[in-house]
Amino acid sequence: MKCTVLPLSLISLGLATPALSDIVQNDDVIIRSELCVGGLSCVDGESFGAEEIKIKNPSPNILFFDTTTDAPNLWRLDGDSSVGNTDFFSITNTAAGGSIPFSLAPTAPLHSLFVSANGDVGLGTSLPGEELHVTGNTPNVRFEDIFNTPYTWDVGGNDGSFFVQDVTAASIPFRIRAGAPNNSVRIMSDGSVGLGTGFAAAALHVRRSDNTAALLIEETGAGTLGQLALRNNGITFFSLEDTSIADAPNSGRAWNFQNQAGTFRVTTAPGGPGEIEMILTPAGDMTIKGELTTSGGTCGGGCDAVFSEDYALPSIAEHAEAMFTLGHLPNVGPTLENTPINVSDKLGRMLNELEHAHIYIDQLHSDIEDLKTAMAERDALREEQLNKLLALLDRSQKD
C-alpha cells in the first residue's frame, strides 16, 4: 500500500485531508538522505547536522523488542530518563520492571567511561594503562553493601597515600604512605609475612639494613597488661643473637630464653641444656653454671672502710651491746623469715660485719699475746726469785 503524506501547509488550508495508515514494505528500504522520526516534532524542512537519523521527541527513545517466546527481552534506549529530577541517557530493561542498568548524566565530564582498543577501561581518561584505570582528585573505588546491614568502604589513593577507608565508621584502618620502600609488606605463598624482605624466613620476618629493624609494642592506657606471649605445644624459646660473634657452640653468639618442660632456662643451646646456662625450677630453685657477679651493695656504710683510719670503729663491748640490743648484727640489719632479701646488699653487709669480727679477733689476739708475754715475764721473774730463795736456803743450811 502506498500512502502519500501532504505538507502541513496544505492541510491547514483545508485543501486536503490525508489518510492515516501504516506503511508496510516487504523489501529493503533505502533512504539516501537523513531521517527524522518523532511525530509532530519533525517538521518539513527539518535541519540536520552530522547525524543521519534524528529521534525527535520530548522523551525520545528506541525500543529493541526481542520476540523470543521463551525469554522475551525489551530493551529501550532513552534520551530522557528522569531519575532524581535529572535527565539521563539510559538503557532501560522494560521487561524487568523498568530497571535501568546504565545511565549517563548530561553533565558527565569528558571520558567518564572509555574502553580502549585492547579492552582496557578508563574512568576519566582516554589512555587507560591497565584493565581498569581511574583518574581524578584522590580517585576512589567505593564498596557499598545495600542489601545487608548498610556499610561502605572506600579504596583510593593520592600523592599522600594509598588507603582503605571505613566510611561508615569514619576511620582509615589501612594506609600505605607514598614512597614506601620496596617489599614494605609482602605475603608469601605459605602465608608468611615479610616486612622489608621479599623472602620471609618465618611467619613474620622484619628485615632492614639501616639499623632500624625493631618492634615496638605500646599501650598508652593504664592497667596491667601482658604484652607478649609465646605459646607452643612443647619447648618454646626466643633467641637474642649477635651476628658479630663467631658462630660456634657456647660462644655467646646466641642466648636463648626457653620454657623446657616447665623449667625456665637461659642457655646458649636452643631447645635443650647447654654448657652455659641458668636454670629456674617451678619450685623457685635457681642453678647457675658459672660465676655470679652483682653490681655490689651498700655494705652498711662501706665494706673495706672499716680499715680506714677515720672509720669510727666501735669497741668490742660497744658492738656487743648494740648487737644484743638490736637482736641482729648492726650492719647486716634484720633478716626476717619469708621476707625478700637483697642478696647483693645483704652479702656486702655480712662482709662488713665479718671485717669487724676479724679486726676484733686481731685485737683479742694482740691482747692474748700481750698476756702471754706478761705471764712469761712474770713466770721468769718468779723462777728467778725462787732460785735466789733456794740459794739462800742452801747457804744457810751449810752455815
pLDDT digits (tens, 9 = 90+) for 134-143: 999 999 999 9
Cα separation, 1 vs 22, whole angstroms? 9
Q: Which of 288, 315, 349 is the last residue of a domain?
A: 288
Per-residue pLDDT at 5 exceeds 70: no
The torsion defined by the Cα of 271, 275, 278 and 283, in degrees rounded to 10, comes to: 70
Residue 201: which domain range?
Answer: 184-208
Examine the domain organization and report whether 309 and 393 are in the same domain: yes
The answer to whether the Cα torsion of 169, 175, 177, 179 is positive or negative is negative
pLDDT of residue 6: 44
pLDDT at 82 over 80: no
309 with 394, same domain: the answer is yes
CA–CA gap between residue 134 and residue 158 (Å, rounded): 12
Highest mean pLDDT among 108-122, 266-280, 349-363: 108-122
Task: Please indicate, yes or no, whether residues 272 and 312 belong to a single structural domain of this protein.
Answer: no
Indicate whether 196 and 282 sit together in one domain. Answer: no
Asked whether residue 267 is assigned to any structural domain, the reply reads yes
In terms of Cβ atoms closer than 10 Å to its own Cβ (0-12, 13-18, 19+), residue 279 is middle
Placement of cell 522523551 in the chain: 59
- Whether 388 maps to a domain, the answer reads yes
Task: Specify if 375 maps to a domain.
Answer: yes
Do 327 and 357 have their domain in common? yes
Q: What is the mean pLDDT of residues 92-101?
A: 84
Question: Which residues are bridge partners to 160 per DSSP?
Answer: none
Cα–Cα dist 326/211, whole Å: 57
Asked if residue 10 is part of any domain, the answer here is no
For residue 170, give Cα distances in angstroms to 146, 164, 391, 394.
18, 11, 125, 129
Mean pLDDT of the chain: 87
Closest-CA residue to 234 (of 261, 214, 198, 203): 261
Going by DSSP bridges, is the β-strand pair 99-104/114-115 parallel, antiparallel, or unpaired? unpaired
Asked which of 193, 208, 223 is the last residue of a domain, the reply is 208
Whether residues 311 and 368 fall in one domain: yes
In a domain, 384, yes or no: yes
pLDDT at 3 over 60: no
**Residues 191, 396: Cα–Cα separation, whole Å:** 124
Residue (of 172, 169, 178) closest to 149 by Cα position: 169
Average pLDDT score over residue span 303-319? 87
Total Cβ atoms within 10 A of residue 98: 11
356 and 391 share one domain: yes
Of the pLDDT bands very low, low, confident and very high (cuts 50, 70, 90), residue 86 is: low
More confident residue, 16 or 212: 212
Question: What total number of domains does the chain contain?
Answer: 3
Do residues 191 and 259 share a domain? Answer: no
In this prediction, residue 10 carries a pLDDT of 42
Residues 389, 324 within the same domain = yes
For residue 81, name the pLDDT band (cuts at 50, 70, 90): low
- Tell me, yes or no, whether 380 lies in a domain: yes
The burial class, CB within 10 Å (0-12 / 13-18 / 19+), for 309 is exposed
Show which of 288, 323, 355 is a domain's final residue.
288
Residue 228 lies in a domain: no
Q: Is residue 282 part of a domain?
A: yes
